[in-house]
Amino acid sequence: MHEDTIESTKIYTQVFPMEWIEIGLSAFSSHAQHVANLAKPQPAASIGGVELFLPSNVYHPGIGLSSSLLVDALLSENIGRTVLDLGCGSGFVGISLYCQGMDLVLADISNASISSTTENLRRIGIPGRVILSDLFSNLKGMRFDTILFNPPLFDKTVEHEAEIALCDPNGDLLTRFLTEATQHLTSKGRIYFMASNLMNREALLSGLGSYRYKIISSSFSMQSEVSRWIVSARSKH
């Protein structure tokens, strides 16, 4: 969701705040505008001065959006050699965090996203394997030092194609991700993902029960009363 007014602070805590701000009309209004924007050809965005290919209905990595926040939070993290950008969209997160020698895999369920990511890897000139996959369905046997995931945040029924990248009704996708991710991590592997009060809270907290986690960065929009947190987590087992 695009937020015009964001206050960001770094926090380090092991658990989510007990106080969970319920979403209101302003959040729905912001979401509707975001859906309308995604359904149209996207404005220019770039990495290192290279313009990205962003067809309609592919999540846009604009300033103040979740992809940019995730990248900014991880620039100082050591994310290892084998990295998966899951639900990659345009490939913005994985491409932005790429380092020489990294084995980068980018996966998405959307054919449009696969086309976008493939073209953006070509434009930027970095290697990466792009795989059409419903979460981990086509990644069997693959393990990673880091799994990056910027999931759909809104606990709302999908009504338009553009909402596939934005909505996760009942937190079903988040539950699957947190359940399956441990089978695709190396022994010291870690997941980094975006969380929000737009999510299904029960699915988030229940899914994190099998992880040791901390919040490494946070943002809050006073305009829409939307909180977002970057979570770093490792399996307890």
Position 19 confidence tier, pLDDT thresholds 50, 70, 90 = low
Question: Which residue is associated with the tokens 């880091």?
Answer: 146
At 227, the pLDDT band (50, 70, 90 cuts) reads confident
Looking at the predicted structure, is the pLDDT value of residue 13 above 60?
no
User: Is pLDDT of 172 > 70?
Assistant: yes
Average pLDDT over residues 161-171: 85
Where does residue 222 fall: left (phi above 0), alpha (psi -120 to 50 degrees), or beta otherwise?
alpha
How far is the C-alpha of 233 from the C-alpha of 58, rounded, in Å?
27
Domain parsing of the chain, residue ranges: 7-235
Span 90-120, pLDDT tens digits: 999 999 999 999 999 999 999 999 999 999 9
Q: pLDDT for 118-127, tens place per residue?
A: 999 999 999 9
**Amino acid type, 87:** G
Contacts of 153 (CB under 8 A, 6+ apart): 1, 66, 166, 168, 194, 195, 196, 198, 199, 228
Note the pLDDT of residue 160. Answer: 79
Residue pair 100/155 in contact (Cβ under 8 Å)? The answer is: no
What pLDDT was estimated at residue 109? 94
Please check the confidence at residue 1 and state whether its pLDDT lies above 70. Answer: no
d(CA 97, CA 101): 12
Q: Which residue has 């639900």 as its token pair?
A: 87
Confirm if 167 and 104 have CB atoms less than 8 A apart.
no
Point out the least confidently predicted range of 15-24, 106-115, 131-140, 153-162.
15-24
- Entry pTM: 0.87
| C-beta separation of 5 from 221 below 8 A | yes
What CATH class does 7-235 carry? alpha beta
Contact 146, 193 (CB under 8 A): no
Alpha helices in 86-195 (DSSP H): 92-96, 111-124, 172-180
